[in-house]
């Protein structure tokens, strides 16, 4: 069974390196992130369709943050394609659209360097020792690609998608995640009929990196 990984805004496929012990997987990157070129149209819908077009047959899907929103749409619109689903460090919606539009404008004007410290503070707890590596990853992202993904999140609401999901679903949250806190995972769990919620202690938004041991254990059990 193919395993597909879809990651966070501001990340490349390198964010999934801690999941190598799970075996071979296809890490799909966001437009303007890593090796993926810019797309003229960027929306949760278009990103979900790209997954369905790229992967053949049935697959299991892990989505984190914006990748979680994409995974919700994939599982809701093509239930016959998704064997098992994991929604990690993600939310039914991502708050005030104006904040995302403001962030897009800031990045277009001032670059990723202007927000990197704030983002890394949300991604990792203060004790995480490898922040420099992820700083380098974040500032490598194309500013226009990042801005277009911010605009895709603005106003997005996944609650209708969540109610339509049929695949067995694992919902994961970092206990200290300020972006997608455990309460958001709890709401997702109430909306997905066949779901289990687990909270990972000692982690913020990139729980798959900071607590890879626990993240991988839970994911392996589920898959």
29: exposed, middle or buried (C-beta count within 10 Å: 0-12, 13-18, 19+)? buried
Give Cβ neighbours of residue 191 (< 8 Å, ≥ 6 apart): 92, 159, 162, 163
Q: What is the pLDDT of residue 1?
A: 78
Q: By the 8 A CB rule, do 66 and 9 touch?
A: yes
Q: What is the pLDDT of residue 74?
A: 98
- CA gap 137, 131 in Å, rounded: 10
The kind and range of the H/E element at 26 are strand 26-28
Q: What is the pLDDT of residue 155?
A: 84
Supply the Cα-derived Rg of the chain in whole angstroms. Answer: 16
Per-residue pLDDT of the chain (223 residues; tens, 9 = 90+): 799 999 999 999 999 999 999 999 999 999 999 999 999 989 999 999 999 999 999 999 999 999 999 999 999 999 999 999 999 999 999 999 999 999 999 999 999 999 999 999 999 999 999 999 999 999 999 999 999 999 999 989 999 999 999 999 999 999 999 999 999 999 999 999 999 999 999 999 999 999 999 999 999 999 9
Reading the block at residue 97, the tokens are 């659209």
Q: What is the pLDDT of residue 184?
A: 98
Alpha helices in 4-142 (DSSP H): 44-54, 66-77, 97-110, 116-123, 131-139
Q: Which of 15, 50, 45 is nearest to 33 (CA)?
A: 15
Give Cβ neighbours of residue 124 (< 8 Å, ≥ 6 apart): 131, 134, 204, 205, 206, 209, 210
Summarize pLDDT for 63-112 with one digit per residue, the tens: 999 999 999 999 999 999 999 999 999 999 999 999 999 999 999 999 99
Q: What is the pLDDT of residue 147?
A: 98
Q: Is 11 strand, coil or helix?
A: coil
């Amino acid at each position: 069974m193919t395993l597909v990984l879809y990651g966070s805004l501001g990340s490349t496929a390198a964010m999934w390196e801690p999941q190598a012990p799970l075996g071979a997987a296809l890490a799909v990157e966001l437009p303007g992130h890593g090796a993926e070129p810019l797309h003229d149209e960027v929306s949760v819908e278009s990103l979900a369709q790209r997954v369905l077009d790229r992967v053949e047959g049935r697959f299991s899907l892990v989505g984190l943050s914006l990748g979680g929103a994409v995974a919700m749409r994939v599982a809701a619109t093509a239930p016959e394609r998704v064997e098992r689903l994991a929604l990690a460090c993600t939310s039914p919606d991502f708050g005030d659209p104006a904040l995302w539009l403001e962030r897009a404008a800031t990045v277009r004007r001032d670059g990723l360097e202007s927000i990197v410290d704030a983002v890394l503070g949300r991604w990792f707890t203060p004790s995480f020792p490898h922040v420099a590596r992820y700083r380098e990853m974040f500032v490598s992202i194309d500013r226009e690609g990042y801005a277009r993904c911010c605009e895709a999140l603005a106003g997005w609401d996944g609650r209708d998608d969540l109610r339509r999901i049929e695949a067995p679903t694992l919902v994961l949250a970092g206990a200290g995640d300020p972006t997608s806190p455990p309460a958001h995972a709890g709401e997702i769990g109430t909306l997905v009929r066949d779901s289990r919620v687990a909270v990972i202690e000692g982690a913020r938004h990139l729980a798959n990196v900071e607590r890879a041991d626990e993240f991988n254990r839970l994911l392996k059990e589920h898959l």
